[in-house]
Amino acid sequence: MHNAAYDRLKARFARIAALGEAAAMLHWDASTMMPPGGGESRGEQLAALAGLAHELLIAPVVEEDLEIARAEGEWEEANLALMEHAHARGTALPTDLVEATARANSACEKLWREAKARADFALVRPALTEVVRLQRETAQALAAALSMGPYDALMDGYQRGITAADVEPVFAAYEAFLAEALPRAEAIQAAKPAPVPLPGPFPTELQRALCRRLSERVGLDYEHARLDESLHPFCGGTPADVRLTTFYDEKDASKALLGVLHETGHALYERGLPEAFARQPVGDAAGMAVHESQSLIVEMQACRSDAFLGFLGRELRSVFGGPAAPYAAENLAGLWRHVERGFIRVDADEITYPAHVILRFRLERAMIAGDLEVADLPGAWNEALHRMLGITPPDDARGCLQDIHWHDGAFGYFPSYTLGAMAAAQLMKAARAAEPGLDAALAEGDMAPLLAWLRRNVHGKGSLLGFQDLLRAATGKPLDPQDFIDHLRARYLA
């Protein structure tokens, strides 16, 4: 009887996961293929799927089966515990709130695209106000069910086991480091010869072919993946059918190339998840901070390393031609590890990027707490960025409209970016210690030693371990921000 109950739960959660996969494909299509007039209909489709999945999760039989189910073995026990956690989150939320949230997010996202293009916050403000209202309602309901603060309850949906109280001291310490390190990095950079721009133009078709080839070289199997274009690069789809997107600029090939390498890191994680637990909670990724660590260990730690840049320069020159000097590793490092106080998070360097995340973390916490109204967001954003980096956005497209996340209802997500960057540095340090030939392999464009280590220590673990325990198992310690700071000092301040 006990095993039968657990088997019923596994079947139900597999069905919930399949509905989530269908929604993921609809989200991908909305960003890549859907005509503009399809937005309202797509919102209803996503709301229907969200409602169906939610009803499956909160059905009375789930609680009954959870009470009597027993699981044997470490993986099965972890799977059952994750089912219980998902059920607790699900039963805290009425289905009409789940569906209303899905509709509001979809409607706001579509308006955001137009508002960003026009740099007109007023256009999306009413829709974003509704999104925030529903997020506050969701946060309050989850907080009561999970015995945690409202914002922590939203964070829990993206990265289990990490709270605002965990993040605050890490971010405060980074702010102190930034105040000292940023001026030093700028001075060191200014004392060096300016890097030589790569000779363009860079035809889109050549970029597209190069991006796919390098993504494959890093380890992605395109029998189970595809690469398309969207306004905001992302990795979506399912572990068996991964969808990557990027955008191309014929004046600057680095945007697409580095973006695809970043998204390939996400895709490799999805492809490496344990197949034996596909569509089960324990077979999912371990959270968004872990996910971000996998994109950044590929893009920032490996592909922007001195070793890999030599290989990458040769690849670029073979495609786009021109003199050798611009493609030298030292020159690419000057171009692609350039430190600058900029307005745009996705274009930020490693040193200033956490400042953008800290800004968003504080603003979204204030919005969820009711201490910041949506109407006041542009001014609060500009003030915070000036305080952090000493610059003020010239318009809202380069300010509070630049990201899709809040307009799509993703509150509690932003801390994962910097926690992921810190975890990536910690994991790379451990990988180098375990694989002494790793950098020699990177110099030949060979990511296999790093990928094999990640498969064993991260990808293949699924959600068996939480964020901190995963790091302990892989590196011997929980998150240690000092590894990230040591990495930045070696790369930018030496």
Residue 397's SS3 state is helix
Q: How far apart are CA 87 and CA 223, in angstroms?
A: 34
Domain that holds residue 47: 2-156
The most confident of 22-36, 219-233, 287-301, by mean pLDDT: 287-301
Give the pLDDT mean for 197-225.
96
Q: Quick one: CA dihedral 406, 408, 410, 415, positive or negative?
A: negative
pLDDT 10s digits, 377-407: 999 999 999 999 999 999 999 999 999 999 9
Q: Nearest 5°: phi and psi at 263?
A: -70, -30
For residue 25, the model assigns a pLDDT of 96
How big is the CA angle at 465 (ends 462 and 469), to the nearest 5 degrees?
A: 135
How big is the CA angle at 435 (ends 432 and 440), to the nearest 5 degrees?
A: 80
Residue 348's SS3 state is coil
Is 2 annotated to bind a ligand? Reply is no
Banded pLDDT at 1 (limits 50, 70, 90): very low
pTM tops 0.85, yes or no: yes
For residue 176, the model assigns a pLDDT of 96
The most confident of 30-39, 167-176, 226-235, by mean pLDDT: 167-176
Phi/psi-derived region of residue 349, left when phi > 0, alpha when psi is between -120 and 50, beta in every other case? beta
Percent of the chain with pLDDT over 90: 96
Structural domain contains residue 82: yes
For residue 186, the model assigns a pLDDT of 98
Is 266 annotated to bind a ligand? Reply is yes
Structural domain contains residue 17: yes
Banded pLDDT at 43 (limits 50, 70, 90): confident
Give the pLDDT mean for 232-253.
94
Q: Which residues contact 250 (CB under 8 A, 6 or more apart)?
A: 200, 201, 202, 203, 204, 207
Total domain count for the chain?
Answer: 1
Assess whether 44 carries a catalytic annotation.
no
| CA dist list (Å): 211 to 111, 247, 259 | 30, 11, 9
Q: Evaluate if residue 279 carries a pLDDT over 90.
A: yes
Q: Please, are residues 325 and 196 in contact by the beta-carbon 8 Å criterion? A: yes
Residue 33 neighbours by CB distance under 10 Å: 11
In this structure, the strands spanning 225-229 and 241-246 are: parallel
Choose the catalytic residue: 76, 109, 263, 299.
263
Banded pLDDT at 200 (limits 50, 70, 90): confident
Amino acid at 187: A
Structural domain contains residue 379: no
Give the pLDDT mean for 261-274.
98
Q: Which residues contact 204 (CB under 8 A, 6 or more apart)?
A: 248, 250
For residue 231, the model assigns a pLDDT of 79
Q: How far apart are CA 125 and CA 400, in angstroms?
A: 11
Structural domain contains residue 295: no
Sheet arrangement for strand 225-229? 225-229, 241-246, 235-238
Q: How far apart are CA 303 and CA 10, in angstroms?
A: 39
For residue 232, the model assigns a pLDDT of 78
Structural domain contains residue 75: yes
pLDDT 10s digits, 94-117: 999 999 999 999 999 999 999 999
User: What burial class does residue 147 get, using C-beta atoms within 10 Å of its C-beta: 0-12 exposed, 13-18 middle, 19+ buried?
Assistant: exposed
Structural domain contains residue 57: yes
Structural domain contains residue 115: yes
Q: Evaluate if residue 486 carries a pLDDT over 70.
A: yes
Q: Please, are residues 447 and 219 in contact by the beta-carbon 8 Å criterion? A: yes
Banded pLDDT at 2 (limits 50, 70, 90): low
Is 77 annotated to bind a ligand? Reply is no
Q: Which residues contact 240 (CB under 8 A, 6 or more apart)?
A: 224, 278
Provide the total of helices (H) and of strands (E) in the chain, helices listed first. 20, 3
Structural domain contains residue 86: yes
